[in-house]
Structure 1
Amino acid sequence: MSQQKAPVIEIRGATKRFRSGAGLHTAVRDLDLTVAPGEFVAVVGPTGCGKSTTLSLVSGLEPPSAGTVRVHGEPVTGIPDGVGYMFQNDAVLPWRSVLDNVATGPRYRGAAKREAREQAREWVARVGLAGFEKYYPHQLSGGMRKRVALAQTLVNEPSILLMDEPFSALDVQTRGLMQDELLRLWSGSGAAVVFVTHDLEEALVLADRVVVMTAGPATVKGVFDVPLERPRDAEEVRLTPEFLDIYREVWESLREEVQITRERGAGRAA
């Protein structure tokens, strides 16, 4: 991945504070991060360290308290054009069919109903749900609902895809299938991806680079290139010596921050 291209995401010295019952809580501090066009970046860190806050800054859902956030070279003052966001809890509407859920995005963007449904039908097929267009969310498995959520996001052809632990609620086997599905659909799209996860294996399977964040208030501790060739098979790549080598290297950095978070939790409980 060429790092010569101008970044599509650029965070410089960003700090985010929230008001809480105890006063001001700093979620992230002095955060620096860039993401190039078409690059897949995974963000890992201990629980509660501010990973999701980072996505909120990029998406415009939260403004920084200090520092700057730019998307496509422009300061983020609202939700930027071309950004897709996939949350931990899927946003499928229970009263709409699979097809109509996926068509929602194009309809909001001004497409006629017939055009929106044609786009939706194509993406329903691309995520492996052809034949389920008329089903409702309660009739689907967890993995199938995630496929609907993925189609909902990708039908809008985002240039930036923000993903906040989207597969964390799935069983191990289904999660592996969804990781492969994401890699297949993302490949060749040109979209930049920022993928937040607690699972280091998942981060390494998917990403070009892994960003390790410190215990909260979070900042970037280290950035690691993932030297695994593409295309990747989510299950097979885990068994390679190259995967084990990069896993050990990144875990050495992450383990210290996880331990700090555990000690803080034990101290508060004592």
Structure 2
Amino acid sequence: MPKRATTPENADDGRVSTGDPVIELRGATKRFRSSGGGVHTAVRDLNMTVRAGEFVAVVGPTGCGKSTTLSLVSGLEPASEGGALVHGRPVEGIPDGVGYMFQNDAVLPWRTVLDNVATGPRYRGTGKREARERARDWVARVGLEGFEGYYPHQLSGGMRKRVALAQTLVNEPSVLLMDEPFSALDVQTRGLMQDELLRLWSGSGAAVVFVTHDLEEALVLADRVVVMTAGPATIKGTFAVPLERPRDAEEVRLTAEFLDIYREVWESLREEVQITRERGAGHAA
């Protein structure tokens, strides 16, 4: 089978060509002071765009700077060089319309499911009654109707993830940043949550950047997969995912098209994983 063309390093393939980019990284580099007084470069010269309604997954070897990339877009970290734009405006602080779902649940243990989901609208100035009505709607959308009065400790891991998803989506973000949100779940529950995410995101118009260490997950969810190099990370290539939507997270994995694109992306990613392993072995020695 002939290989599909991938983009060169630090370039976008422009698969979704209509409309202005919602998210842009322009030569973004991030450096941190190390504990020994030196400087550690986490990511360098990142160039990436994501348009409205586009789902982009970011994969790369462990510790390469995938989460740092999200921090630059969200405004949690300023760029050392270059920068990020959201809706055409330079990121200087947390932009309006950004939702962020972390690897660890951000649910408040002393609040019920309903009050956890209502927290975001209340923080944004929505009245208590309206906030709770919106929260009740989203609790039902994520399949937790009847659990509104439960506390987080009374829920399974998958149910807490549904609460976290409702917390994020109740604010109707135009930009959705997700940092390995399902990595702690068992395989079956992860598949269910992937289906839930696709169902709830579909038609929302939100631009999504989803960081994951799981290549299968990236391909199940995304329109494009961005492969990052071993640290200090830059973008090695971008791969279009030629799988029709809507997708079933379990069934799509069994198709010949899925296996073809998996082999292609893994060929690129494997090189970077090997570099990271060799570096680790060298330090251990």
**TM-score w.r.t. length of structure 1:** 0.99
Q: What residue in structure 1 maps to residue 275 of structure 2?
A: 260
Q: What residue in structure 1 maps to residue 126 of structure 2?
A: 111
Give the deviation of 1:71 after TM superposition. 0.4
Q: 1:2 aligns with which of 3, 16, 24?
A: 16
Query: 1:150-169 alignment to 2 at 5 Å?
Result: 150-169=165-184
Give the deviation of 1:3 after TM superposition. 1.4
Question: Does 2:70 correspond to 1:68?
Answer: no
Count of residues in correspondence between the two structures: 270
Aligned-partner residue type, residue 64 of structure 2: C
Give the deviation of 1:68 after TM superposition. 1.9
Give the deviation of 1:5 after TM superposition. 1.4
Give the deviation of 1:52 after TM superposition. 0.1
Q: What residue in structure 2 maps to residue 207 of structure 1?
A: 222
Q: 2:32 aligns with which of 10, 13, 18?
A: 18
Question: Does the CA contact (< 8 Å) of 2:175 and 2:208 recur in 1?
Answer: yes
Aligned-partner residue type, residue 18 of structure 2: Q
Question: Does 2:225 correspond to 1:176?
Answer: no
Q: Structure 2: any 5+ residue segments left out of the alignment? A: 1-14
Question: Does 2:257 correspond to 1:235?
Answer: no
Question: Does 2:152 correspond to 1:137?
Answer: yes
Partner SS, residue 156 of structure 1: coil
Q: How many Å separate the matches in 1 of 2:270 and 2:86? A: 31
Give the deviation of 1:4 after TM superposition. 2.7
Q: 2:56 aligns with which of 41, 44, 51?
A: 41
**TM-score w.r.t. length of structure 2:** 0.94
Q: What residue in structure 2 maps to residue 93 of structure 1?
A: 108
Question: Does the CA contact (< 8 Å) of 2:219 and 2:258 recur in 1?
Answer: yes
Q: How many Å separate the matches in 2 of 1:4 and 1:146? A: 33
Q: How many Å separate the matches in 2 of 1:202 and 1:2? A: 21
Aligned-partner residue type, residue 135 of structure 1: Y
Q: CA RMSD in A?
A: 0.6
Q: What residue in structure 1 maps to residue 92 of structure 2?
A: 77
Q: How many Å separate the matches in 2 of 1:36 and 1:103? A: 28
Aligned-partner residue type, residue 11 of structure 1: L
Q: What residue in structure 1 maps to residue 236 of structure 2?
A: 221
User: What whole-Å deviation, never above 9, does each CA across 1:171-194 have from its counterpart, x for those lacking one?
Assistant: 000000000000000000000100
Q: What residue in structure 1 maps to residue 4 of structure 2?
A: none
Partner SS, residue 229 of structure 1: coil
Question: Does 2:195 correspond to 1:195?
Answer: no
Q: How many Å separate the matches in 2 of 1:128 and 1:100? A: 16
Partner SS, residue 31 of structure 2: strand
Q: Structure 1: any 5+ residue segments left out of the alignment? A: none
User: What whole-Å deviation, never above 9, does each CA across 1:72-106 have from its counterpart, x for those lacking one?
Assistant: 00000010000000000010000000000000000
Q: How many Å separate the matches in 2 of 1:257 and 1:24? A: 22
Question: Does 2:42 correspond to 1:27?
Answer: yes
Q: How many Å separate the matches in 1 of 2:203 and 2:35? A: 47
Fraction of identical pairs, as percent: 87
Question: Does the CA contact (< 8 Å) of 2:72 and 2:83 recur in 1?
Answer: no
Q: How many Å separate the matches in 1 of 2:188 and 2:84? A: 37
Q: How many Å separate the matches in 2 of 1:37 and 1:111? A: 26
Q: How many Å separate the matches in 1 of 2:146 and 2:57? A: 33
